A and B are shown apart, each in its own frame.
Chain A
Amino acid sequence: EPEVTQTPSHQVTQMGQEVILRCVPISNHLYFYWYRQILGQKVEFLVSFYNNEISEKSEIFDDQFSVERPDGSNFTLKIRSTKLEDSAMYFCASQILADTIYFGEGSWLTVV
């Protein structure tokens, strides 16, 4: 069964460092997402991406965040200068039209 894959599974970074989280969505999917879950809290929407551009973003997704799909397969989330409060599980997800959204296994980011 096709799945969304994410790397790394866990990353520890120092505050102020740049982090890139990578995702390979399901191949025939058209919509791509990043969600965040701070430990013990609910899953929060960050950004949606369609047709090579951001279609929607939340208040969380400020100028420190960016996304791109450089080669048509990988979908990346970049945090330019990490803060302690960026520590969370980051989920990539993909979707085909108005259908079920499938999540990757997540990338734990710990900012120290």
Chain B
Amino acid sequence: AQKVTQAQTEISVVEKEDVTLDCVYETRDTTYYLFWYKQPPSGELVFLIRRNSFDEQNEISGRYSWNFQKSTSSFNFTITASQVVDSAVYFCALTTGNQFYFGTGTSLTVIP
């Protein structure tokens, strides 16, 4: 069975601080994809990144970076120099085929 765990329910940081959102996943499949989605207060789900299980190279996109470590089954997300607009719920998700398995989400509040 697949499972995604986001142990951090809520995080608050002051603007310009760095913050890391943790994601741990479980799967027996050797081929899988990992995702991060952002859900702002307006409610939509915004795709941020996709990673396949064969690509452990970390990725940086502007202030966002992702650290994928198969050895610890983790796919953590770091926001550097956080901004108020980063305030949202962030979901980590896993798919091994058609169905996506979401974590429970981490609610990030960036305080100005």
Contact = CB atoms under 8 A, between A and B. Distances in A.
Interface of A: 31, 33, 35, 41-45, 48, 50, 55-56, 89, 91, 95, 98-106, 108
Interface stretch (B55-63, B71-79, B95-103): B95-103
Contact of A42 (B47, B91, B98, B99): B91
Contact of B102 (A31, A42, A55, A102): A42
Given A42-B105, A43-B91, A106 B98 contact: no
Contact of B98 (A44, A50, A100, A102): A50
Contacts, number: 53
Given A42-B91, A43-B91, A103 B98 contact: no
Given A41-B104, A42-B104, A105 B43 contact: yes
Nearest to A103: B45
Interface in B14-59: 33, 35, 37, 42-45, 47, 50
Contact of A98 (B33, B35, B37, B44): B33
A98 B100 CA distance: 11
A33 B101 CA distance: 13
Nearest to B4: A42
A90 to B, nearest CB: 11
**7 A-B pairs closest in CB distance:** A103-B45, A105-B44, A43-B102, A42-B104, A48-B98, A42-B102, A100-B50
A26 to B, nearest CB: 12
Of A56, A91, A98, the most chain B CB neighbours within 10 A belong to A98
B100 A106 contact: no
Given A41-B104, A44-B102, A103 B95 contact: no
B44 A45 contact: no
Contact of A91 (B45, B47, B50): B45
A33 B97 CA distance: 13
